[in-house]
Amino acid sequence: MSPPAILQDPVSPTVPSKKLNLPHSSAVPVGGQTKTETIEAMAGDWQSFTFRPIRESQVSRAMTRRYFSDLDKYAESDVVIIGAGSCGLSAAYCLAKARPDLKIAIIEASVSPGGGAWLGGQLFSAMVMRKPADAFLREIGVEYEEDGDDSNYVVVKHAALFTSTLLSKVLQFPNVKLFNATAVEDLITRPREDGTIQIAGVVTNWTLSCMDPNTINAPVIISTTGHDGPFGAFSVKRLVSMQAIKCLGGMRGLDMNTAEDAIVKGTREIVPGLIVGGMELSEVDGANRMGPTFGAMALSGVKAAEEVVRVFEQRQKECAAFY
């Protein structure tokens, strides 16, 4: 199978000149005919400019038809990723690339995907990644600078460049659907013969809704909801309350060197059907926090995708045996 277009070499952005020299044009169908329009032609002629007419209901139908069709299509997903932070998005990218045959739903509670990775630390713009996570930046085509005498880390000029690039790549995969403004409010479980449980899907709700929830069945879930706080560590806290794991280890104090290795190495299937990565994992393992360095989030996503590939067929078979 040929690789998806998204995996081809990244295109450098065009810097517009003062004369708005924007050579890209698009062919748009107009009343059965195709008319080629360019931004450059428009920019020189605002007096005669007008948008094409539209009836308001067309806008509604264009959105709702697609959304409800996606709800129907992804009610049975292959993999659900909870949380579209740096770890969840990295996992989605690697999994969608490695397994174009899998239907991947991403559920993000916030309207804006990206989690905590829109800034580096405090309100600073730059994002630090310790090597060898620079490999992930090259993979998605994000430029960076080498920094420091020892060359042990690289710096992306703005964390938002990393997050927006990764997000745009993930959204272009045909086998990925992001449901944002949608929270996971419970896990679907099935009893195993040994008396333990298996995770077999998620219970979702529009973040601003208090109505009865919706559901998505999937044999494998990746949970990357971040560290504990008003919203974070959702799945692992739920595992404790349903007695699937004894207790949480609690995120420990900041130690960048210890923390990043521990999160990547520890990314794994915690109970059958549920893989946990990113800062959510620090709550399970009692790992250190790492603060504003993001290499572990990207590589934990890579490992989470690898874990899915390892267990998927087995979990799919087991789930098929339940109703």
Q: Which stretch binds ligand FAD (CB under 6 A): 32-40, 52-60, 126-134, 272-280?
A: 272-280
Q: Which of residues 88-147 bind ligand FAD (CB under 6 A)?
A: 88, 107-110, 115-117
Tell whether residue 277 is among the known ligand binding residues.
no
The one among 163, 189, 225, 267 contacting ligand FAD by CB under 6 A: 225
* Minimum separation from the CB atom of position 182 to ligand FAD (A): 7
Surface-to-core class of residue 8, CB atoms within 10 Å of its CB (0-12 exposed, 13-18 middle, 19+ buried): exposed
Mention every residue, 6+ apart, whose C-beta is less than 8 A from residue 44: none
Does an H or E element contain 252, and which? strand 252-254
The one among 67, 68, 124, 231 contacting ligand FAD by CB under 6 A: 231
* Minimum separation from the CB atom of position 262 to ligand FAD (A): 11
Surface-to-core class of residue 58, CB atoms within 10 Å of its CB (0-12 exposed, 13-18 middle, 19+ buried): exposed
Tell whether residue 229 is among the known ligand binding residues.
no
The one among 157, 190, 227, 237 contacting ligand FAD by CB under 6 A: 227
* Minimum separation from the CB atom of position 72 to ligand FAD (A): 20
The one among 201, 219, 232, 273 contacting ligand FAD by CB under 6 A: 232
- The residue written with tokens 């000029």 in the block is 157
Surface-to-core class of residue 41, CB atoms within 10 Å of its CB (0-12 exposed, 13-18 middle, 19+ buried): exposed
**132 close to 33: Cβ distance less than 8 angstroms:** no
* Minimum separation from the CB atom of position 26 to ligand FAD (A): 33
The one among 86, 163, 198, 205 contacting ligand FAD by CB under 6 A: 86
The string of DSSP letters for 196-224 reads: -EEEEEEEEEETT--S--EEEE-SEEEE-
Instruction: Tell whether residue 83 is a contact of ligand FAD (CB under 6 A).
Output: yes
Tell whether residue 283 is among the known ligand binding residues.
no
* Minimum separation from the CB atom of position 142 to ligand FAD (A): 16
* Minimum separation from the CB atom of position 13 to ligand FAD (A): 25
Does an H or E element contain 122, and which? none
Strands 252-254 and 288-289: parallel
Tell whether residue 247 is among the known ligand binding residues.
no
Residue type, 220: V
**198 close to 271: Cβ distance less than 8 angstroms:** yes
Q: What does residue 124 show for φ and ψ, rounded to 5 degrees?
A: -80, 150
The one among 7, 289, 306, 311 contacting ligand FAD by CB under 6 A: 289
* Minimum separation from the CB atom of position 64 to ligand FAD (A): 22
The Cα–Cα gap between 129 and 163 comes to 13
Please tell me whether residue 74 adopts helix, strand or coil conformation. Answer: helix
The one among 87, 104, 236, 305 contacting ligand FAD by CB under 6 A: 87
Tell whether residue 302 is among the known ligand binding residues.
no
Residue type, 278: G
Q: Summarize as ranges the residues that interact with ligand FAD (CB under 6 A).
A: 82-88, 107-110, 115-117, 183-184, 224-227, 231-232, 234, 278-280, 289-292, 297
Annotated binding site for substrate: 87, 108-109, 116, 184, 212, 227, 279, 289-291
